[in-house]
Amino acid sequence: MGGSLFALASAPGRGAIAIWRLSGPDVAAAIKALTRRPLPGPRIAALRLLRDPASAALLDQALVLFMPGPASFTGEDMAELHTHGGRAVAEAIGAVLARLPGFREAEPGEFSRRAFLNGKFDLTAAEAIADLAAAETEAQRRQAMAQAGGALAALYDGWRDRIIQLRAHLDAAIEFPDEDIGDPLAGMANALATLRAEIGDHLTDSRRGERVRDGLTIAIIGAPNAGKSSLLNAFVRRDIAIVSPEAGTTRDAIEAHLDLGGFPVILIDTAGLRTAEGAIEAEGIARARARAASADLVVALFAADAPHDAETLAMIDDRAIVVTSKVDLGGLSPRAMLAVSTKTGVGMDALIGALTARVADLLADRGAPPPTRARHREALTNCIAALDASAATPLPELAAEELRVAADALGRIAGRIDIEDMLDAIFRDFCIGK
C-alpha cells in the first residue's frame, strides 16, 4: 500500500478544468520532472507547461500546486495539477502519471485512508468527507459538515474518557483493597447510570442520522387505480411510472428521490392492494406491503369516486397521511385530512406542505450530532451492553473488564483502537481521488 498515488479528483468527462491529485514521497521529483523547473513555493499556484518526462512531448499548460507534508491533507507531500478538462487530455496525462517512478493510480478513498493513518482526522470525520461528496440535500450537507468537524468523535472520546476513568478508579480499588475508599462498585453506580442514559439517548437518535444520510422513505399505498403512480409522477414532475386506467398497472415498487424542504426523501410508488389476479400481481402486492411496512411514512390514497377498500384501511397506522385522490371526481372522504387531484393540481401544495412538516419533524436537528451509520449503532449497542453488564456484576474484576469492552466499543467508532479489519469496508465507498 506504499509508494506514491495519483488520481483524477474532478469528475471525469467533459469539463473546463480537471484536477489531478498526487500524494507520496515521489511527488516533488515528479513535479520537477513534469515541469522541468524548480518546485513552486509551498501552496503557491504556479502556471507551468507539463511535458512527458520521457519524450519531452508537451502535454498541457497547468496550474501546479505543491503542498509539502506533513501540513497537507494526507500528511505526505502532495501536489495538484489543474489541467484543461476533457477526456483526451485526461487520458494523455493519466498515462504519463502512471509511468512516473513510484506512482500508481489510487484506489477509491485511498487519499483519505492515508490521511486517517497519518492521524489527520478520526474515522467518523473520514466517513463524513465521503458523505459530503455524496450530499444532495441541505440536511445531508449540514450533518456531514458537523461530523467532518469532529462533533461525533468529540462525543465518543468524551464518553470513552469517562469510562476509562471509572475503570482506573476500579483498578485502584482492586489493587489496593486496604485503602478505605468504600465499596468501589457502589461508588461507581451513579456515574455509570448517567453515562448509560446519555449513550442510550444518542443511540435512539441513530435512525435520524441514518435517515438524513440515506433518505427518509415514504410509501404511497392504495387500491388499484387510486392514482398512486400519477401522484409519484406529479411529485417529481416526470413521467417515471406508467399510468393507465387498467387496474393493477404497477407491479414493481418504483422509487424517486426528492428534496423536501432541504431533507432527502425516497418516494415509493407501489402495486395497488387487492386480491391478486395472478402470480406476478401477487408478488407485486407482497412487495408493496413490505415496502409500506418498512417505510418511515405512508401516504394512503382513497379515490373520491371509489369506496374505501379494506386492504388499504387495514394498513393505516400513525405513520400514515390519509389522502383523498381524484378529488375532481368527488368530495373529500371522511377519513382523509387532505384531498388532491393530479389532474387539476388541486391540493398538491397542501400535501407537499404536510409531508414536509412530518419529514422535518422526524429529521430536524436536535442539537447533538446523531450517529450516521449502522456501524456506529452496533458499536454503541455493544458499549451499552457492556456498561449494563458492568453495573450488574458484584465482582469488581468483572466490572472492570466490562468497562474495558465498553471503552473499546467507543474507541472503534472513531478508529482509536485496532480497526485494521474495518478499513477496507469503510474506505471502499469513497470516490476515486478522495
How far does the chain reach from its first CA to its final CA, in angstroms? 16
> 83 is in the binding site of which of ligand GTP, Mg ion, none (Cβ under 5 to 8 A by kind)?
none
- Position 303, amino acid: A
Are 30 and 22 in contact, with CB atoms under 8 Å apart? yes
Are 84 and 410 in contact, with CB atoms under 8 Å apart? no
Are 215 and 266 in contact, with CB atoms under 8 Å apart? yes
Residues from 238 through 267 that contact ligand GTP (CB under 6 A): 243-245, 247-250
Minimum Å distance from CB 316 to ligand GTP?
Answer: 16
Counting contacts by CB under 6 A, is residue 228 touching ligand GTP? yes
Are 390 and 408 in contact, with CB atoms under 8 Å apart? no
Q: In this chain, which of 222, 264, 370, 433 binds ligand GTP, going by CB under 6 A? A: 222
Q: Which stretch binds Mg ion (CB under 5 A): 72-80, 83-91, 171-179, 241-249?
A: 241-249
Taking Cα atoms as reference points, which of 305, 306, 307, 340 lies closest to residue 322? Answer: 340
Q: In this chain, which of 23, 74, 112, 225 binds ligand GTP, going by CB under 6 A? A: 225
Tell me how many residues contact Mg ion (CB under 5 A). Answer: 4
Q: Measured at CB, which residue is nearest to ligand GTP? A: 272
Minimum Å distance from CB 349 to ligand GTP?
Answer: 15
What DSSP letter does each residue of 147-171 carry, written as one string?
Answer: HHTTHHHHHHHHHHHHHHHHHHHHH
What SS3 class is residue 205?
coil
x/- mask, Mg ion, residues 192-231, rule CB under 5 A, reads ------------------------------------xx--
x/- mask, ligand GTP, residues 323-362, rule CB under 6 A, reads --xx-xx-----------xxx-------------------
Minimum Å distance from CB 251 to Mg ion?
Answer: 9
Minimum Å distance from CB 267 to Mg ion?
Answer: 13
Minimum Å distance from CB 265 to ligand GTP?
Answer: 19
Minimum Å distance from CB 271 to Mg ion?
Answer: 7
Q: How far apart are CA 165 and CA 183, in angstroms?
A: 17
Are 397 and 174 in contact, with CB atoms under 8 Å apart? yes
H or E stretch at 17: strand 17-23
Counting contacts by CB under 6 A, is residue 284 touching ligand GTP? no
Residues sharing a CB contact under 8 Å with residue 138, sequence separation 6 or more, in sequence order? 259, 262, 263
Residue 362 CA, distance from chain mean position = 17
Q: How far apart are CA 15 and CA 11, in angstroms?
A: 8
Minimum Å distance from CB 367 to Mg ion?
Answer: 41
Residues from 4 through 43 that contact ligand GTP (CB under 6 A): none
Residue 338 CA, distance from chain mean position = 33
- Position 2, amino acid: G
Are 34 and 53 in contact, with CB atoms under 8 Å apart? yes
Counting contacts by CB under 5 A, is residue 250 touching Mg ion? yes
Minimum Å distance from CB 231 to ligand GTP?
Answer: 7
> 342 is in the binding site of which of Mg ion, ligand GTP, none (Cβ under 5 to 8 A by kind)?
ligand GTP
Q: Centre a 10 Å sphere on the Cβ of residue 23 and count the other Cβ atoms it contains.
A: 27
- Position 169, amino acid: H
Residue 94 backbone class (left: φ over 0; alpha: ψ -120 to 50; beta: rest): alpha
Counting contacts by CB under 6 A, is residue 291 touching ligand GTP? no
> 177 is in the binding site of which of ligand GTP, Mg ion, none (Cβ under 5 to 8 A by kind)?
none
> 253 is in the binding site of which of Mg ion, ligand GTP, none (Cβ under 5 to 8 A by kind)?
none
Q: Which is nearer to ligand GTP, 249 or 382 (CB)?
A: 249
Q: Which residues bind Mg ion (CB under 5 A)?
A: 228-229, 249-250
Q: Which residues bind ligand GTP (CB under 6 A)?
A: 222, 224-230, 243-245, 247-250, 271-272, 325-326, 328-329, 341-343
